[in-house]
Amino acid sequence: MKGIQQTIRTMLGKSAESADLINQFQTAKPTTLHKQVSGVCLERIKDDKLGWIFQASYSQQCPNFIK
């Protein structure tokens, strides 16, 4: 989950808001989590076959992961 921390800090900078997001995305619950913050979409899901999947992109709309 270290990559999540690095990605969020790279895209949003070092702030209280990004620290809060890091805490949210590094937990195991809920198994599906989507956030749109400052033009950045963050998504984390748990796939039964693939395990944890984390995506981040610069976008106004957050697409859901499509198998």
CB atoms within 10 A of CB 61: 7
Residue count of the chain = 67
Average pLDDT, the chain: 86
Could you tell me if residue 48 is inside a domain?
yes
Could you tell me if residue 52 is inside a domain?
yes
Specify the range with the lowest mean pLDDT, choosing from 11-15, 49-53, 62-66: 62-66
Query: Does residue 2 or residue 48 have the better pLDDT?
Result: 48
Indicate the DSSP class of residue 67. -
Query: Domains in the chain: how many in total?
Result: 1
pLDDT value for 32: 87
pLDDT value for 65: 56
Q: Which residue range(s) make up the domain with 17?
A: 2-58
Could you tell me if residue 54 is inside a domain?
yes
Could you tell me if residue 22 is inside a domain?
yes
pLDDT value for 66: 45
